[in-house]
Amino acid sequence: MRVIGCLLLFAVPVRAEVINKILATVDGEPITVYELKQFTERTIRGRQLSSSDQAQLLDALITEKLVSKEVADKGVVVRDEDVDRYIDGIKERNKINDEQLKQALTQQGLTMESYRAQLREDIQRQQLIAREIRGKVNVTPEEVQRYYEAHLSEYSKPAKVQVAHIVIRLDPNATPEQVAAAMAKAEEIQARLKKGGDFAEVAKQASEDATAQNGGELGWFKKGELLEPLEKATATMKVGQVSEPVRTNVGVHLIKVEAREGESHQNLDELAEQIKQQLYNAALEERFQKWLTDELRKRHDVQIL
């Protein structure tokens, strides 16, 4: 027992030495193994990097400290009301309430208190960016144009067809006699249409589907969205044309092609503001990283030990 007691006695300072080992200093202030461990556990950024190289974790912590120093030097103040508004925006965008937010945080191992602290730092960082960088970033119309042309495939709009139908309902396991009766009824309706009957009016009278009250309107469909037999039937049909009776697991259909739109692209006018904001955010982040590495670190004494 005496031997075990001695071993335990000597084990404590060794553990303390490991925890308090200094990894780096920022303006003479030490960063220890324990502090790095806390950073890993309390922040989302730390959790994202926890399985990565320790050098990346340490760099992230140093960056946090430098930003915090700059925030203090510049007098950036974030009030509780600012954090509240930020959280309200998050809840609104994600369509969640307070309880759902708490549950999501718990799943990530975060408390509301630690989450608010992180948000406060995020807002401080945003305000710091606004003061130091925002005025130095600009996106021109030419840059927006170039991005649009380089990513044109991302803005493609597939071909689509607008259809309406008249349905004679059939059970998927209908007997041959029942199928024949439904086909005969569909052919009678088709004959009415060929004699000039209005498709929408005939659909209201004869269709056995919930869409009957809307004149059989089904809406717009891209490739792969219609039932396969209906898609196959409409593939070669012209606008205004009505199909022959088509059997599906729903019943027997008469399909009318009401309109078509070929493959196209969204107009730049529709996307210009979105692209500009996207490029602006990317440029802002790039400029911020450059500011961190080329300017901010030069103003502080950072030593990696």
Q: Domain boundaries in the chain?
A: 18-137+280-304, 159-262
The torsion of the CA quartet 36, 52, 24, 32, rounded to 10 degrees, works out to 20
Q: Rounded CA gap, 238 and 225, in Å?
A: 19
Average pLDDT of the segment spanning 119-124: 86
273 pLDDT above the threshold of 90: yes
3-state secondary structure 54-98: HHHHHHHHHHHHHHHHHHHHHCCCCCHHHHHHHHHHHHHHHCCCH
b/e burial code for range 78-97 (CB count within 10 A of at least 16 → b): beeeebeebbeeeeeeeeee
Tell me what pLDDT residue 7 has: 35
Rg, C-alpha atoms of the chain: 33
27 pLDDT above the threshold of 90: no
Average pLDDT of the segment spanning 226-237: 93
pLDDT in tens, 278-303: 999 898 888 888 887 777 888 888 88
Residue whose tokens read 């399909």: 255
Most confident of 31-35, 113-117, 158-162: 158-162
What percentage of the chain has pLDDT greater than the value 70?
90
Tell me what pLDDT residue 48 has: 65
Q: Rounded CA gap, 80 and 99, in Å?
A: 20
Residue 261's DSSP bridge partners are: 160
From residue 104, give the alpha-carbon distance in Å to each of 30, 70, 213: 34, 31, 44
- pTM, to two decimals: 0.50
Q: Of the ranges 9-13, 70-74, 96-100, 122-126, which one carries the lowest mean pLDDT score?
A: 9-13
User: Which ranges of the chain would DSSP assign to H, the alpha helix?
Assistant: 2-19, 33-42, 44-49, 54-74, 80-94, 98-107, 112-132, 141-150, 176-194, 199-206, 228-234, 268-290
Give φ, ψ of 110 to 5 degrees.
-115, 145
Beta strand pairing status for 217-222 and 160-169? Answer: antiparallel
From residue 242, give the alpha-carbon distance in Å to each of 104, 186, 187, 233: 52, 12, 12, 10
From residue 254, give the alpha-carbon distance in Å to each of 121, 188, 218, 238, 242: 62, 11, 12, 14, 7
pLDDT in tens, 171-181: 988 999 999 99
263 DSSP assignment: S
Amino acid letter for position 91: K
Tell me what pLDDT residue 52 has: 59
Residue 247's DSSP bridge partners are: 252
Question: Which CATH number applies to 18-137+280-304: 3.40.630.40, 1.10.4030.10, 3.40.50.2000, 3.40.50.10860?
Answer: 1.10.4030.10
Say which residue, 296 or 201, is predicted with more confidence: 201
What CATH topology corresponds to 159-262? Answer: Chitinase A; domain 3 (3.10.50)
User: Own/partner pairs for 218-221, CB < 8 Å, 24+ apart?
Assistant: 218/162, 218/163, 218/164, 218/165, 219/162, 219/163, 220/160, 220/161, 220/162, 220/261, 221/160, 221/161, 221/162, 221/163
